[in-house]
Amino acid sequence: MKFAFIDAITELTPGERIVAVKAVTLAEDYFADHFPTFPVLPGVLMLQAMVESAGWLVRHTLDFAPIVILLREARNVTYKSFVRPGQLLRLEVTCRRLSESDSDFSGIGYCDRMEVVKGRFSLRHVSVTDQERQGRSTADRIVKEARARFALFLRRRDGVPCAVVDAPSQDSLT
């Protein structure tokens, strides 16, 4: 099963900011356990949605050089409200620092304009230069699939393509 916790990207400023959304529906498997009489989106999945949003910003900004993006650290992630099936979670994620090998972000999640989660996190990027030769074809396939999925995300819910702001100059990347 694909680990995919965002559904669409609605805004993207390379190296700076990304806004993505995740629809929440009772058909998602974990609600059976979390919780049977009161289904709510697990807090760590709200964090995962922010992490994935940040990951797509990293991939796009670095032209898909990183093959895999892993969460290294999360700090001061506070949960203010429950997110229930039938809601749309909007993640606004801001890049604080970005290099080839890692990045720092802060993010806020909203439901119906109300803050439900906020926090800071750092990612580590695993790129093709790090890999053994036998990993190459797997790496290429992962990148190809990532590019295809990113293209699908770049739409608003009403079908209008997401506007991607022009990439910043190299100077603005640390």
34 belongs to the catalytic site: yes
**Least distance between another protein and beta carbon 167 (Å):** 25
Q: For the range 70-74, what are the long-range contacts, defined as Cβ-Cβ under 8 Å and sequence gap of 24 or more?
A: 70/123, 70/124, 70/126, 71/47, 71/121, 71/122, 71/123, 72/102, 72/121, 72/122, 72/123, 72/124, 73/121, 73/122, 74/47, 74/119, 74/120, 74/121, 74/122
Judged by CB, which is closer to another protein: 32, or 163? 32
**Least distance between another protein and beta carbon 91 (Å):** 14
Judged by CB, which is closer to another protein: 77, or 173? 77
46 within 8 A of 34, measured Cβ to Cβ: no
By CB under 8 A, name the binding residues for another protein: 1, 3, 29-30, 32-38, 42-45, 47-48, 51, 67-68, 70-80, 106, 118-120, 126, 128, 131-132, 135-136, 138-139, 142
Which of 8, 28, 34, 42 is catalytic? The answer is 34
Q: Which amino acid is at 29?
A: D
Looking up tokens 């559904």 gives: 7
Judged by CB, which is closer to another protein: 14, or 153? 153
Q: What is the CA radius of gyration of the chain?
A: 16
Q: Which amino acid is at 53?
A: S
Judged by CB, which is closer to another protein: 71, or 167? 71
26 within 8 A of 39, measured Cβ to Cβ: yes
**Least distance between another protein and beta carbon 20 (Å):** 16
**Least distance between another protein and beta carbon 76 (Å):** 4
d(C-alpha 70, C-alpha 101), whole Å: 11
List phi, psi (to 5°) of 144.
-60, -45
Any idea which residues carry the catalytic annotation?
34
